[in-house]
Every structure is written in structure tokens, then in C-alpha cells.
């Protein structure tokens, strides 16, 4: 373990998980005098460094966690500035674990940014939001690691579609489903529908399948049913446009790489998709479209998004029906 860690990125789920891990370094009875969780906007560099350099009381180490580190106030004259941390990085207190959290990384051309990335005493990690096409793989891995459950690929895809890429909400829904199937080692698509999908008759995935197969009548019927079962037409439309944007971005990426004469295995490797089931499904979907179709598809999605935001007099049903017709072509 290093004496200093700098953790940043848009994916707050991992940051919160690590905060919990670092908080548990000390035993409960050691925390009263040796654990500090501070916020950058509330402290000065001088105060933070004074705590970091102090020795633990009745414990082997102390833990100082600073969230929103880059907002650390400069304070009045004599209270230091951010560059005062440079000397600490060179010679950190071995009995203090200093953990710095921030949504952003420091600018790479600053002394602070260079020191954080190059110092041997600082562990630097950046956590970016997972792209939508990797969410099903994450669901499967989370189910295995935390519940020892085998979440089948179709079930993982359905969970990802229902919840989106909010990993905190997604982990909560996985907990629900895995608890529901407590006596089984496998989580199926039917299990997911029973727990978090029972409120609707059709899903966006079923609508996607109808559109991909160019079944206009079925697509329009499913669209109508989804709107009838939704609590908010606008919310449902926003969710569907986002879902189809993700679907067609994946299709576009595959078609673009095919145009570059990449092999199927090369394309899967470049997209970073571990699940063979999920990639084969994407490959099959992409085979139903041409690369030349993509401008039309994304124009339809953009127009639907603009209509939802009030740049049209169409009602919700008309917006969705028009989008479906244009996607089918």
C-alpha cells in the first residue's frame, strides 16, 4: 500500500467503493482520533498537511481522506497553496494514509499534476464511466464476484437496458435479483422480468428486435403498449431514444470496422466485448443494416430528441411512431 492515493474520474460508484475500503483500514476503536474525512472546499492546504504529518494516537496509522481535493481552499496568506503538497509527496508521513478524491485529474502541465503522476509514493487511478456496450459484461462479473451467481447473457442485457449505466443503481438491482433466486446458481432473463420488469408488458429490447427484423406492425404495437404502461410518456421517450442511440452506435462501430476490412475477431477485440453471446447478437443486428444507412438512422434519433425537447408540435405517440418508421426505413 502506498502512503498517498489520488483517485479521480466520472464513475463515482468506484470512488465510493474505494472510500469505504480505505475507511475500513482502521479498527472502529481507532477511528475517533485517527480518521478524518474532509472536503477540499472547507479546508486549506496548511490544515490538510498539518493533519497528514501528525502521528496517530494509540494506533499504528492514521487515515486522512480529502474529497473534492482540487477545491482545497488557498485561504489567507500563510495558509499555503496547492504546491505545498509537492514536498509531502516527496517525503510522506509513513504512518498516515492520505487519500485524495476528485472528479477531475489535475492539469498535466502543472507541478501538482506532474508530481501526482510521477511520484513513486502516489498511487494514481482514474475511473471513467463505462460505455453502454460494456455494461452487460459488468453485470455478469458483479453477479459472480459478489453473489456467486451466473447471470446469463440475455438477463445481463435486460438488466442493463432496464437500469442504464448508473452502476450504483445497477448493483442494487442485481442484489434484488440475486436475492430472489437465492436457491439457484443461475439468474435468467425470466428472473429479471419478474423482479424489475413486471410493471411493463414489453421492453425496449423487444421493440429493438421488432425494428431490426423490419416488422413495422409489431414495432408500432409494442411502441403503443410501452407508452400506455409508462408513468411518463416523456420519460419513456427519453429512455428509448437513449437506448436506440446506444444500439446504433454499436452497429455503426461494427459496420465502420467492416468497411475497413477488419475481421470479426479483430472487431470484437477492438470493441472490448468479453461476452461472445452479446457480441454475436450485435454482429447479427449489424448484418441487418448497411453502413450507408447510419446517417439516416442518427438523423431520425436526433429529430426525435429535438421533438421531445419541444421543437415540434407532435404528441408522444406520434414522435415514437415516426422514429420507429424511420429506423425501419
Query: Is residue 93 domain-shared with residue 9, that is, in the same domain?
Result: yes
Side-chain-facing half-sphere of 149: CA atoms under 13 Å = 26
Residue 96 domain-assigned?
yes
Check residue 249 and give left, alpha or beta (phi > 0: left; psi -120 to 50: alpha): alpha
Name the most confidently modeled range: 230-234, 278-282, 317-321: 317-321
DSSP calls for 50-89:
HHHHSPPSSSS-EEEEEESGGG----STTS--TTHHHHHH
Residue 204 domain-assigned?
no
Dihedral, CA atoms, 282, 284, 285, 291, nearest 10 degrees?
A: 100
pLDDT of residue 88: 95
Residue 203 domain-assigned?
no
Task: Residue 170: give the domain boundaries.
Answer: 132-196
Write the pLDDT tens digit of every residue in 35-89. 999 999 888 999 999 999 999 998 899 999 999 999 887 654 456 688 899 999 9
Lowest-pLDDT choice from 75-89, 133-147, 215-229, 283-297: 75-89
Query: Is residue 84 domain-shared with residue 122, that is, in the same domain?
Result: yes
pLDDT of residue 201: 62
Residue 201 domain-assigned?
no
Query: Is residue 276 domain-shared with residue 241, that is, in the same domain?
Result: yes
Query: Is residue 167 domain-shared with residue 267, that is, in the same domain?
Result: no
CATH of the domain at 170: 1.10.8.60
3-class secondary-structure state, position 98? strand
pLDDT of residue 76: 47
Residue 241 — very low, low, confident or very high, per pLDDT cuts 50/70/90?
A: very high
Query: Is residue 221 domain-shared with residue 324, that is, in the same domain?
Result: yes
Query: Is residue 54 domain-shared with residue 166, that is, in the same domain?
Result: no
Backbone phi, then psi, for 113, in 5-degree steps?
-60, -45
Q: In what order do the strands lie in the sheet with 62-67?
A: 35-39, 62-67, 96-102, 4-8, 122-126
DSSP β-ladder status, 62-67 and 150-151: unpaired
pTM for the full model? 0.60
Q: Radius of gyration of the chain from Cα atoms?
A: 25
pLDDT of residue 245: 92
The overall average pLDDT reported for the chain is: 88
Write the pLDDT tens digit of every residue in 49-62. 999 999 999 889 99
pLDDT of residue 310: 86
**Using CB atoms within 10 A of its CB, is residue 60 exposed (0-12), middle (13-18) or buried (19+)?**
exposed
CA-to-CA separations, 129 to 8, 138, 164, 165, in angstroms, rounded: 11, 12, 12, 8
Query: Is residue 290 domain-shared with residue 312, that is, in the same domain?
Result: yes
Number of structural domains (the chain) is 3
Query: Is residue 231 domain-shared with residue 157, that is, in the same domain?
Result: no
CATH of the domain at 34: 3.40.50.300
Q: What share of the chain is helix, strand, coil (3-state, %, to 5)?
A: 60, 10, 30
Alpha-carbon distance 62 to 261, whole Å?
Answer: 57
Query: Is residue 190 domain-shared with residue 221, that is, in the same domain?
Result: no
Amino acid at each position: 500500500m502506498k502512503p498517498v492515493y489520488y483517485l479521480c474520474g466520472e464513475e463515482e460508484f468506484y470512488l465510493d467503493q474505494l472510500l469505504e475500503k480505505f475507511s475500513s483500514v482502521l479498527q472502529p476503536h481507532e477511528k475517533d482520533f485517527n480518521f478524518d474525512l474532509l472536503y477540499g472546499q472547507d479546508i486549506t492546504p496548511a490544515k490538510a498537511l498539518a493533519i497528514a504529518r501528525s502521528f496517530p494516537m494509540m494506533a499504528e496509522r492514521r487515515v486522512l481522506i480529502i474529497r473534492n481535493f482540487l477545491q482545497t481552499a488557498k485561504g489567507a496568506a500563510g495558509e499555503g497553496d496547492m504546491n505545498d503538497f509537492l514536498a509531502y509527496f516527496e517525503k510522506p508521513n509513513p504512518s498516515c494514509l492520505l487519500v485524495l478524491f476528485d472528479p477531475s485529474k489535475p492539469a498535466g502541465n502543472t507541478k501538482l499534476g506532474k508530481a501526482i503522476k510521477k511520484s513513486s509514493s502516489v498511487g494514481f487511478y482514474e475511473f471513467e464511466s463505462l460505455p453502454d456496450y460494456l455494461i452487460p459484461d459488468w453485470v455478469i462479473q458483479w453477479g459472480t464476484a459478489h453473489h456467486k451467481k451466473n447471470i446469463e447473457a440475455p438477463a445481463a442485457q435486460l438488466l442493463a437496458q432496464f437500469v442504464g449505466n448508473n452502476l450504483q443503481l445497477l448493483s442494487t438491482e442485481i442484489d434484488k435479483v440475486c436475492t430472489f433466486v437465492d436457491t439457484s446458481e443461475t439468474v435468467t432473463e425470466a428472473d429479471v422480468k419478474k423482479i424489475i420488469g413486471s410493471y411493463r408488458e414489453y421492453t425496449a429490447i423487444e421493440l429493438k428486435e421488432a425494428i431490426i427484423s423490419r416488422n413495422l406492425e409489431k414495432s408500432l404495437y409494442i411502441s403503443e403498449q410501452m407508452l400506455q404502461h409508462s408513468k411518463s410518456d416523456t420519460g419513456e421517450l427519453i429512455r428509448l431514444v437513449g437506448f436506440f442511440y446506444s444500439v446504433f452506435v454499436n452497429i455503426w462501430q461494427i459496420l465502420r470496422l467492416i468497411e475497413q476490412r477488419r475481421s470479426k475477431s479483430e472487431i470484437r477485440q477492438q470493441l472490448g466485448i468479453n461476452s461472445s453471446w452479446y457480441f454475436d447478437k450485435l454482429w447479427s443486428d449489424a448484418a441487418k443494416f448497411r453502413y450507408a444507412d447510419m446517417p439516416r438512422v442518427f438523423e431520425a434519433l436526433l429529430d426525435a430528441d429535438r421533438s421531445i425537447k419541444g421543437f415540434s408540435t407532435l404528441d408522444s405517440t406520434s414522435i415514437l411512431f415516426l422514429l420507429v418508421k424511420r429506423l425501419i426505413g
